[in-house]
Amino acid sequence: MRLASILFAALAVVGVTASAADAAKAKQPNIVFIFSDDHAYQAISAYGDPRKLLDTPNLDRIAKEGVRFDRCLVPNSICGPSRATVLTGKYSHLNGFPNNSNSRFDGTQTTFPKLLQKAGYQTAIFGKWHLASDPTGFDHWQILPGQGVYYNPPMIRMGETVQEPGYVTDIITERSLAWMKKRDKTKPFLAMIQHKAPHREWSPALRHLGHDKDRVYPEPATLFDDYEGRGFAVKDQHMTIEKIMTPFDNKLTAMPRLTPEQRKVWDAYYVPRNEKFTNMALTGKDLVRWKYNRYLHDYLGTVKAVDESVGAVLKYLDEEGLADNTILVYASDQGFYLGEHGWFDKRWIFEESLRTPLLVRWPGHTKAGTVNKDIVSTVDFAQTFLIAAGVAVPNDVQGGNLLPVLAGNTPANWRKSFYYHYYEYPEPHRVQPHYGVVTDRYKLVRFYAMGPDYMELYDLQKDPNEMKSVFGDPSYAKVTEDLQKELARLRQELKVPEVEPPSVFGGSANPAKKNQKKKDAAKTN
């Protein structure tokens, strides 16, 4: 199996005769790509979060039978841009989808599903799309419009709106498995199973209400972060559990679209607990703690259904004898805050947002139970899938080939640094546009809309929670100089434009102008 994989990669790079290509295609692996939305690595038990938030036995099985990546980083921590990166293997400035607010994916551009389809793969996508245009490169597709809803969701199936009764995670799983069962079994296939969960507003399947038996969750050490030691950007955000999380988020009002029967189950769980909460009249930190615990109940409840979905896919692959020749990938579009720094959501270059879970199983190519700490990324997926399938990779793809990394043979020239760039401002969470460079130990960040001098530096070894910027500290002068040079190198290598059109920010025609009054405050931090 390993020899065939190496031959495959070689054929893709150097070009082959028709007969050799036909021989290679006989070995082409199936690809099952399961992609959730806002799934924090802290909420997968295989990652060992000290809070032990939830058991995820099916996700853990992928880790036990394959590779768990501990440093999978995203180029732009937000839903639509992450999906565009996966499809194209390019950063936002090249794939044309930098934000959720006003971006529209250009479906005429080259994507890895199109190339696999052209090479004889059957291709399908189910679930969250969130790229404004219709999917291209797929033989079959059924997607959620926009963000989608959790209960009884409308979906768009090959251009036609259909109404689906039930819970969204279950529906996406059922439609995906039904397609796989009916596919042409003489051809390899790509199935992209893309869940809405656990995206806001974190509505669990009704069967999972009460899953935690009213557990009081351990608090992260930074739940009551006061944001001292960092600059104005960190203080100015609007994403705290305390101030921004709404009664709708906290299920103090019922979700829409519930049937009368579903509403009875919903009310039986939430109404008495909400009445108890109202009678307590909580304030201050006690109110934050209540919101945090309700948030975790709901968020983790949605993850339980995702884990069950993964279990159903694993069972199907086993029963059909497909597991050995299938690349199974589980990832999320980015990380997510589960109370760290008092936050929910994502967007930042900071760890809980930047880092996404990645679990990969490919028997014969991945060693069971491996933990990898190399810097890998969602931008690597497209190239990896193409090379595994023996398909030539376009010259403008910016990711790396994960196949040797999966096999435990990380190349000597594998990346040691990573470029990150976030654009969307000011809505919905007032996270300032920023870019930066990440290494195994340091992060250098430039909040460029607030002036050229506004930078922050974090030493992850000494400050793993990223509580204090050491930018300007004389003892870090050499580190700062080296990182600034590396940042400039990465921007040049990745062809990042020095001047961006106003539209890339997605909520502000001129964030630098809006921030004019804040510059003095920023420079004092």
Residue 519 belongs to some domain of the structure: yes
DSSP 326-342: EEEEEEESS---SSGGG
Which pLDDT does position 473 carry in this prediction? 98
Q: Tokens at residue 473, please?
A: 């500290």
Q: Which of 294, 314, 342 is where one domain is finished? A: 294
Which residues contact residue 448 at a Cβ distance below 8 angstroms, ignoring those fewer than 6 apart? 433, 434, 435, 454
Q: Name the domain count of the chain.
A: 2
Give pLDDT, residue 505: 82
- d(CA 511, CA 473) in angstroms, rounded, equals 28
Can you list the alpha helix ranges (DSSP code H) found in 97-167?
Answer: 112-118
Task: Tell me which of 1-10, 101-110, 203-212, 252-261 is least confident.
Answer: 1-10
- 507 pLDDT band, cuts 50/70/90, is low
In a domain, 460, yes or no: yes
In a domain, 386, yes or no: no
Final residue belonging to a domain, choices 294, 316, 334: 294
Supply the DSSP symbol for 443. Answer: E
CATH of the domain at 486: 3.30.1120.10
Return contacts of 457-465, CB within 8 angstroms, 24+ apart: 457/483, 458/350, 460/351, 464/351, 465/221, 465/222, 465/340
Judge whether 456 lies within some domain: yes
Q: What is the pTM of this model?
A: 0.93
In-domain check, residue 161 = no
> Residue 274 — very low, low, confident or very high, per pLDDT cuts 50/70/90?
very high
In a domain, 327, yes or no: no
CA distance 182 to 197: 26
User: Does 262 score more than 50 pLDDT?
Assistant: yes
Domain boundary among 239, 267, 294: 294
Q: What residue numbers bound the domain in which 478 lies?
A: 418-523
Summarised one tens digit per residue, pLDDT across range 3-21 is 344 444 444 443 433 333 4
